[in-house]
Amino acid sequence: MTRIDALLAAGQTTSFEFFPPKSEAERATLEKTISNLEPLRPSFVSVTYRGGRESRQRTYDLVTAMADRGIFTPMAHLICVAHTRAELEEILESYLASGIVNLMALGGDAPTHPDAIIGELTYASELVALARSVGAFSIGVAAHPDGHPRSPSMAADRDRLAEKLSMADFAVTQMLFEADRWSALVEDLHERGVDKPVLPGIMPVTTLGAVDRMAQMGSVVPTWLVERLQRAHAEGGDVAVRAAGIDLATDLCSELLQRGVPGLHFYTLNLSTATREITERLATR
């Protein structure tokens, strides 16, 4: 299987993120999305994972199915909370046995179910180290342009990110809305002696309702962008909001590419229209 670190070494990448379907309806939606995005020939795709045996199996099934069909180069997400070290080793070994070598190593949120297992690993850096001991994975980690919500300070966040990224191969940011935030993050890492590729995560804001949802996920939409969408809504309703969101995301991607980002990573939410529009527009610029 193609390694993502090798793809990044060869040039700029384009990648998409999906989540495993929980129902037949979601499965049908994802299949349609995959069919629509396949002609764009992404460098790789990632598949999310929330923890627990059912979610673990859904991620494994989707990643291995993509690999078997040869349609995409897949990367499996894995979180270390709610798993024992032995379970994590089992998961990692099962991926290697299936030929899956691309891994996104995440800490994850602490489980809230009273019967949930309390994991032996706490931080993504520990999971990176464990994966390195198991086999030759190409490993990505998450980066937070505005700092992780649980970090006591920006400096502490950057120190922790530099620590884990020094062991990993690349990072993917949470949803990013301003090119300057990517540049500042990369500069902070450079000052700490880390120059691994950092892929900006892109998700257009196409509804006003998405602003609050993104904030809940730890990605605060800038005030100027919200005001731009509100003006669009006043002028043309929901259709105008969507059009403005696509325009803004396209402009952001164009600026990021001009700044020399190693690639663009699109959060698709298992839908294809917005991602397809943005990538097709970029191809004509």
CATH number at residue 118: 3.20.20.220
What is the domain extent for residue 125?
4-206+261-271
Residue 283 domain-assigned?
no
Number of domains within the chain: 1
Check pLDDT > 70 for residue 92. Answer: yes
Looking at the domain assignment, is residue 160 inside a domain? yes
163-209 pLDDT, tens digit per residue, is 999 999 999 999 999 999 999 999 999 999 999 999 999 999 999 99
* DSSP 8-class letter at 23: S
Q: Over 60: is that where the pLDDT of 115 sits?
A: no
pLDDT for position 263 = 98
Residue 78 resides in a domain: yes
Rg (CA), the chain: 19
- Judged by DSSP in three states, 115 sits in coil
Instruction: Report if residue 279 sits inside a domain.
Output: no
Residues in Cβ contact with 114 at an 8 Å cutoff, skipping those fewer than 6 apart = none
DSSP 8-state symbol, 109 = P
Q: Is residue 285 part of a domain?
A: no
Give me the mean pLDDT over the 210-236 stretch.
90
- 117-175 residue pLDDT tens: 667 888 999 999 999 999 999 999 999 999 988 889 999 999 999 999 999 999 999 99
Banded model confidence at residue 88, pLDDT cuts 50, 70, 90: very high
Decide if 139 is inside a domain.
Answer: yes
| Percent with pLDDT over 90 in the chain | 80
Name 218's Cβ contacts closer than 8 Å, sequence gap at least 6.
144, 146, 148, 149, 174
**Structural domain contains residue 89:** yes
Res 231 pLDDT > 70: yes
The C-alpha angle with vertex 54 and arms to 48 and 55, in degrees rounded to 5, equals: 10
pLDDT(111) > 80: no
Cα 41 from Cα 113, distance rounded (Å): 40
> In angstroms, rounded to a whole number, what is the distance separating the alpha carbons of residues 110 and 132?
23
For residues 58-70, average pLDDT: 93
CA atoms within 13 A on the CB side of 160: 23
Catalytic residue among 17, 54, 126, 178: 17
Q: With bands split at pLDDT 50, 70 and 90, how would you rate the model's confidence at 94? A: very high
φ/ψ of residue 39, rounded to 5: -65, -20
Q: Strand 138-143 relative to strand 170-175: parallel, antiparallel, unpaired?
A: parallel
More confident residue, 77 or 284: 77
17 is catalytic: yes
Q: Does residue 265 fall inside a structural domain?
A: yes
Res. 107: pLDDT tops 60: yes
> CA–CA distance from 200 to each of 77, 111, 174, 278 (Å)?
17, 28, 7, 15
Res. 114: pLDDT tops 60: no
Range in 37-51, 236-250, 261-275 the model is least confident about: 37-51
Of 190, 192, 149, 199, nearest to 170 by C-alpha is 199
Residue 102's beta-bridge partner residues?
A: 138
